[in-house]
Amino acid sequence: MIRWKHGTHYLIWLLLVLHLSTCQSDSSLTTSAEQHELFAIKKDSLSPWSQILVSLPRRHPLYQSFAAKIQDVTENISDDVRDANKTFVSSDDSPYNIRIHALKPGHRYSIAIHGQKDGSTSLIKEESVVMDPRAPDFRSTDSDIQVAEHNITMRTIKNDSYLQDSFSIEYRQINPDKKFPVLQILDIPEQKNLEFYLGNLNSGFDYSVRVIAHKDGISSRPWISTLTTKPSPIKAVNINQNSGSCVEVTWQTDEFSGADFYTIQYALQSNPSNSTNMTIPSTESSISICDSMLQGEAYQIVATVQKGGQVSDPLLTKFQLRPLPPIDFRVRADLKRGKYKMLAELPTSSKIDKCQITVAGDEVERSINYANIEQTKSGHRICWFNFALSPGERFDFSISSMSDESTSQKLQKSIVLTPAFDFNAFGLTLQESNGGIELIWPKSEVFMSRVKDIWNKVVGSDSLLNMRITPVGNNDDTDKTLKFETSPKNLDPIFAKNLVKGACYRVQLFTVTKTGIISETRHNETIRMSSPAVNVSLESVTRSSATLRIVFATHHDSTSISNCQMHIVVRDMNGKSVFDKRMQLTSTFAPLLNLDGLKPFHKYTVNTQIICGGGHETPQCPAATRTMRQLSFSTRQDKPAAVQNLKVEPLNSYSVMLTWLPPAMPNGILTHYNVNVTKMGSDEIRTIDVGVSSNRSDHTVQVIVDELFGGHTYNFSVRAVTEAGFGETSPVIPSVSMPLMAPPKPTAAPMIMKESVGSHSMIVRFPTTMFDNRNGEIKQFAIIVSETTADESINRWLETDNGTYTWQQVQRFDVWPSYVAKLQDIQKVKQDADVSIFEEIGDDESCREVRADRICNGPLRSASKYRVRIRLFTSPTLFTDSPPSQVMTTVLTPALDNLKPEILF
């Protein structure tokens, strides 16, 4: 059943296909032309030498897929060259065509297209195609293009798989345009190398070249390139060195060289690899090279012409630059060698090997000499040569630089040789001596023998040494020049005497030939004669002034003086200048110099200098200075200045501490300090003497002032004292108010007079020494009465420190506590141990009638024991109690034993 079904389905499908093939004209293939268009075979437009495209229908009723079979059917080729058979199918990327690739140029291929369906294959179309040939590539690695001035040769190796019948070469000249005949060249299959030669070309021009391969009437795509012939080389290069540092380079070329630009490459012949390149436009035919070439060096220049990428053959030119001439030269006498030395300075910016020196004179034959080059420590280059010539005669000198065989321009001078002179080489001594100036020859005979030999060679045997002494700075004396002559033949010293003290003289030494030629070298020296001396002494001195006497040391100093000043500087012990003055010295100068405004008891030093010259003289002459012996003196003592930093600090109610610093200007030796203490509101002034010693490092003086009184205001002042008297009063400080405190506790107790004791009263005595006013003036005193028990204790019920009971308030107690019997103001009382105050206790019988809080001196109880204290007041709230008195018992009174006083409240 399964096979039947399958067969039935196949028959139905076959009938449907036959029906469609006969009835549907849009999908059937009725003619061979339509069949050819559906499966068109065309060479690829981009690669017609290696690829073919086969077009496929989008949908075919008879086939499911297609394949193209390729066979190389080229005739007369070997099997090694023939291409292998290949089969190509459509790809997923391009389902509507088959791309046949990797074919060989110039080969003929048979292409058969087959359709496939359900495993069966049938031939649809077969066609023969010749592939396009391919032109050779002369730019490949195996190729070579050789360019000459008038021809181009192109070489390459043929590809064995490429087939062609012939080649054609088309070429023409560009700008100006010029065409050449087309070259036709047959291909020789056995020949592996291709070589094309293009001749009769112009040098330095661009040519467009096309190479085409042909096969069976089919032409390849051309190989196209623009080739340039090598330009013609430069014919000649001319080098011209001007007078400066520039080199002019010119060249000559063909009229039609075809150059784009020229290249100039120059380098030292000794180092050609280190060259400098320059590019010059083709419109130029010369160039100047400045500052980059070293004068005197040998160079080479390589000149070429460039057109596009082609460079002409180089032209090498060698040349030698002239060295620069010497900068300058001079001729001087060489005293060491006894000859004249020609010394030339050479430029550093030139190569110079040696110098050529020529000398000629009236009595000297012309001579040519050569000198080597030397380098000085400062970096200069020189050359020199010594000549045995006579001083005072004229000679012609010329000098030039030489490098290899090249010679610079000559530097020429006509010079009259001056006689030599050297102050130090001749051993001369010039000095001030005995009020004059002296010139001395050396004393050594050996040295003078050498001097005489040099003198005869470079000074002249008949030449003389001249000395001129001219005053400087005084117009009236400038014409009074002193002139002297000497020579080594006469060794006596030259002495110019009686010159002015402090004056300046210009001394000039030079040599002169017998013909009057003066030496170029001269010794010029200005000598200031020594300053005159003066004596400075102390005439008198006081506390604030001193008088100095100034006189000349000698009579000659006072009579011959020129432009001299006396500079006096007086300094105190701290180095501060208190007097600084310059005074002109004259022959009549003998002043008394007053120094005012000095400080007392100060040490002063007087420094005196005599200065001659140093002003506005022309030419400037060094000043001569004489420093006199230093003088010291001290002024007399004076009253000191005020003390410093006075301070007062209360220590308690009756003592203060005073501190101060010594005066800044003690003006003498301090003997002591005087401290004045003044109580405000009174005429009382107390003076205290204090010593000057202090054990503190800051020299602060401290003193404690006692015996002051609390509650009072005091002023303090301090004065320092010297043997001259009291100093200034210290600056005013604020008044000091002493604090008010309770009186000092008395040491003595009040005493009850036994003989005064009655049954209800008694008398108490106490000394006035209790009234110690140190903590403040005692204003009141109170008598405190206390009844004691059998064991002599006091009833302290409700007793406080600030108050006591009155007489009436204690009446309710069996034992009376302390109460105030009396409160009394104090007048001024003399404090003396021999003076006492007597007060009676219990003498007021009227106390029973007064108010309870009122102090009253009521009667005591009979047969009762009592103690008494004295209470001292500096203020109502500041008080001190004395020690209690002895216990004293009142007398018994029977009639009053049962009486009880009436207490009023």
Residue range 540-554, pLDDT digits in tens: 999 889 999 888 777
Q: What is the pLDDT of residues 395-412, one digit of tens each?
A: 999 999 999 888 888 999
Distance CA 836, CA 838 (A): 7
Question: At 721, which amino acid appears?
Answer: V
876 — pLDDT class (breaks 50, 70, 90): confident
**Taking the CB of residue 420, how many other CB atoms lie within 10 A of it?**
25
26 — pLDDT class (breaks 50, 70, 90): very low
Question: Among 5-9, 56-60, 211-215, whose mean pLDDT is lowest?
Answer: 5-9
What local confidence, expressed as pLDDT, does residue 799 receive? Answer: 52
Q: What is the pLDDT of residues 605-639, one digit of tens each?
A: 999 998 887 766 555 677 888 888 999 999 988 88
* Residue 388: both structure tokens together: 């045995």
Phi-psi sector, 399: left (phi>0), alpha (psi -120 to 50), beta = beta
Q: Is 254 helix (H, G, I), strand (E, B) or coil?
A: coil
What local confidence, expressed as pLDDT, does residue 35 receive? Answer: 55
848 — pLDDT class (breaks 50, 70, 90): confident
Q: What is the mean pLDDT of residues 672-682?
A: 90
**Taking the CB of residue 233, how many other CB atoms lie within 10 A of it?**
18
Overall fold of domain 40-131 = Immunoglobulin-like (2.60.40)
What local confidence, expressed as pLDDT, does residue 559 receive? Answer: 60
* Residue 493: both structure tokens together: 């010293």
Q: Is 565 helix (H, G, I), strand (E, B) or coil?
A: strand
Q: For the chain, give every domain's residue range.
A: 40-131, 143-228, 236-321, 328-417, 429-529, 534-634, 647-738, 751-890
Mean pLDDT of the chain: 86
Is residue 170 predicted with pLDDT exceeding 70? yes
Q: Is 775 helix (H, G, I), strand (E, B) or coil?
A: helix
The residue among 282 and 721 whose pLDDT is bigger is 721
Distance CA 718, CA 705 (A): 12
351-385 burial code (b ≥16 CB/10 A, e <16):
bbeebbbebebeeeeeeeeebeeeeeeeeebbbbb
Closest CA to 189 of 108, 84, 50, 77: 77
Distance CA 825, CA 818 (A): 20
Question: At 229, which amino acid appears?
Answer: T
Overall fold of domain 143-228 = Immunoglobulin-like (2.60.40)
Is residue 476 predicted with pLDDT exceeding 90? no
Q: What is the mean pLDDT of residues 820-826?
A: 90
Is residue 272 predicted with pLDDT exceeding 60? yes
Sheet containing strand 534-541, edge to edge, reads 534-541, 545-552, 592-596
Longest dimension (CA), the chain: 195
What local confidence, expressed as pLDDT, does residue 23 receive? Answer: 38
Is residue 812 predicted with pLDDT exceeding 70? yes
- Select the CATH number that applies to the domain covering 751-890 from these four: 2.60.40, 1.10.3470, 1.10.1060, 3.40.50: 2.60.40
Is residue 903 predicted with pLDDT exceeding 70? no
Please give the distance of CA 678 from its chain centroid, rounded to a whole number: 67
With beta carbons less than 8 A apart as the criterion, state whether 872 and 879 touch: yes
In a 13 Å sphere around the CA of 228, the CA atoms on its Cβ side amount to 17
State the Cα angle at 437 between 434 and 441, rounded to 5°: 110
What local confidence, expressed as pLDDT, does residue 617 receive? Answer: 56
Is residue 250 predicted with pLDDT exceeding 60? yes
CA distances from 391 to 119, 361, 397, 524, 757 (A): 133, 12, 15, 22, 148
**Nearby residues of 654 by Cβ (< 8 Å), 6 or more positions away:** 706, 707, 708, 709, 710, 738, 774, 775
- Evaluate whether 429-529 and 751-890 have a shared fold: yes
Closest CA to 690 of 668, 669, 674: 674
With beta carbons less than 8 A apart as the criterion, state whether 454 and 391 touch: no
- Select the CATH number that applies to the domain covering 534-634 from these four: 2.60.40.10, 3.40.190.80, 2.30.130.10, 3.90.950.10: 2.60.40.10
Overall fold of domain 236-321 = Immunoglobulin-like (2.60.40)
| Backbone angles phi and psi of 870, in degrees to 5 | -110, 125
Q: What is the pLDDT of residues 490-528, one digit of tens each?
A: 888 999 988 888 888 899 999 999 888 999 899 998 888
pTM: 0.47
List 142's β-bridge partners, or say none: none
What local confidence, expressed as pLDDT, does residue 34 receive? Answer: 55
**Nearby residues of 528 by Cβ (< 8 Å), 6 or more positions away:** 502, 503, 504, 505, 612, 613, 621, 622, 623, 624
Rg for the chain, CA atoms, rounded: 72
Residue that the structure tokens 């070579």 belong to: 144
Please give the distance of CA 364 from its chain centroid, rounded to a whole number: 65
Distance CA 879, CA 893 (A): 36
Distance CA 194, CA 140 (A): 13
What local confidence, expressed as pLDDT, does residue 20 receive? Answer: 41
| Backbone angles phi and psi of 586, in degrees to 5 | -130, 175
Q: Write down how long the chain is.
A: 905
In a 13 Å sphere around the CA of 314, the CA atoms on its Cβ side amount to 11
Distance CA 328, CA 382 (A): 10
- Could you say which architecture CATH assigns to the domain 328-417? Sandwich (2.60)
β-strands 701-705, 672-679 pairing: unpaired
Closest CA to 758 of 887, 861, 836: 861
Q: 429-529 in CATH: which number?
A: 2.60.40.10
Residue that the structure tokens 């032409």 belong to: 219
What is the distance in angstroms between the CA of the first residue and the CA of the last residue of the chain?
160
What local confidence, expressed as pLDDT, does residue 792 receive? Answer: 76
Q: What is the pLDDT of residues 373-395, one digit of tens each?
A: 999 888 889 999 998 888 888 89
What local confidence, expressed as pLDDT, does residue 827 receive? Answer: 76
Closest CA to 83 of 125, 50, 112, 43: 50
Question: Among 71-85, 211-225, 252-266, 812-826, whose mean pLDDT is lowest?
Answer: 252-266
Assign domain 647-738 to its CATH superfamily: Immunoglobulins (2.60.40.10)
What local confidence, expressed as pLDDT, does residue 896 receive? Answer: 45
Q: What is the pLDDT of residues 748-798, one digit of tens each?
A: 999 999 999 999 999 999 998 888 888 888 889 999 999 998 887 777 655
Q: What is the pLDDT of residues 65-96, one digit of tens each?
A: 899 999 999 998 998 999 999 999 988 788 88
